[in-house]
Amino acid sequence: MAKTMKGLAVSALVAVIMAFGHASPAKAAEGAASHYLPGAAGDILIAQPPKPGWLAGAMLWYQAGDVNRAVLQGRVNFSLDLDLFLAIPSATYTFEQSVLGGTYTVGIAVPFGYANLDSRLDFPILGVREASEDSFDLSDMVFTPVQLNWTVGSFSFKLAENIIAPTGGYDTSDYVNLGRNYWSFDTVAAVSWFHAKTGTGVDLAPGIMVNTENDKTDYKTGTEFHLDFTANQFLSESFAVGIKGYWYQQISGDSGSGAVLGDFKSEAFGIGPGFVWIPKSAGGGLTVLGKWIHDFHAKNRFDSDYFTLAAGWKF
């Protein structure tokens, strides 16, 4: 597996980019969703230190889901059905100089895409009305000013702070928005283990996301805990298959005058298959990753299927 290790270094760089994948239409949390994207922390060797220099990446994201009820733009909505397509280009830079004995990386991601949402709206006077709307717009950008990685034997570790800024399209008169109109601060840790002889790897990436209030709706989404996990097995020097999944739990309730359904705490769990391909023809510089995650449990959050296809290129 010596050659595989060379390719895995590139894969780990792609995993760094995947950690910047936070974006969501305003739709738990306010709208039964949040800035956290399930499984976006990475697909392989999430915590392995990247090599110095630039890495460019892109993720295509599709989510299809439904939820019984949620608060949108201050109104209670029922029987919501969501289709969400996102393109998430991103870039990272890793410095030559070490910081606290580890590698130091900064990054940015600029998601944009299309969302379609169907539901029944509950108006105070008019009663229940059917509604459907779509939107193509910029979503909320993600900045990572600090990411540190270390390696000890077969284990790697990561600590990062991601800042999600309210840069996406948002208008309270619109039924669906690609932005959420509030800031989020996501502190993420990760540990990766890789056995070189067998080509087996396992990753855990827990995180805590703290949100500010949406001043347009007076709705503050509670603090969120999330855990992404992966297990991969290389079948050859350039191809691996694995299991990807996540666990999500709100650890404090929603608040504010706009939280008309109370604390509306959300939780969810999903798991599914994935693959990693490092084409020999690209000399180890290109990595392609894909996965499907199916929700087996979702409460006050969209019960969804998630499909992603991503690629990263090391300069």
Q: Could you write out the DSSP letters of every residue in 221-240?
A: PPPEEEEEEEEEEESSSSEE
**Band of pLDDT at residue 222, cut at 50, 70 and 90:** very high
Domain span at residue 189 reads 2-314
Whole-number Å distance between alpha carbons of 62 and 244: 16
State which amino acid sits at residue 157. F
Question: Cα dihedral angle (90, 291, 237, 279), rounded to 10 degrees?
Answer: -50
pLDDT tens track for 48-102: 999 999 999 999 999 999 888 766 666 666 778 899 999 999 999 999 999 999 9
pTM above 0.85, yes or no: yes
Q: Are 35 and 211 in contact (CB under 8 A)?
A: yes
Strand partners, 70: 77
Here the CATH number for the domain that contains residue 145 is: 2.40.128.130
Backbone angles phi, psi at 13, to 5 degrees: -65, -40
Query: Quick one: pLDDT band at residue 250, thresholds 50, 70, 90?
Result: very high
For the segment 264-287, the average pLDDT, to the nearest whole number, is 89
DSSP letters spanning 35-86: S--TTTT-SS-TTSPPPSEEEEEEEEEEEEEEEEEEEETTEEEEEEEEEEEE
CA separation, residue 212 to residues 95, 178, 200 (Å): 31, 17, 40
Task: Say if strands 127-138 and 75-94 run parallel, antiparallel, or are unpaired.
Answer: unpaired
Q: What is the pLDDT of residue 9?
A: 44
- pLDDT score, position 243: 97
Is the four-CA dihedral 23, 157, 278, 197 of positive or negative sign? negative
**Number of structural domains, the chain?**
1
Provide the mean pLDDT of the chain. Answer: 86
Which one is predicted more confidently, 109 or 3? 109
Q: Nearest CA to 192 among 30, 28, 11?
A: 11
Mean pLDDT for 189-216 is 95
Could you tell me which of 178, 161, 171 has the C-alpha nearest to residue 87? 178
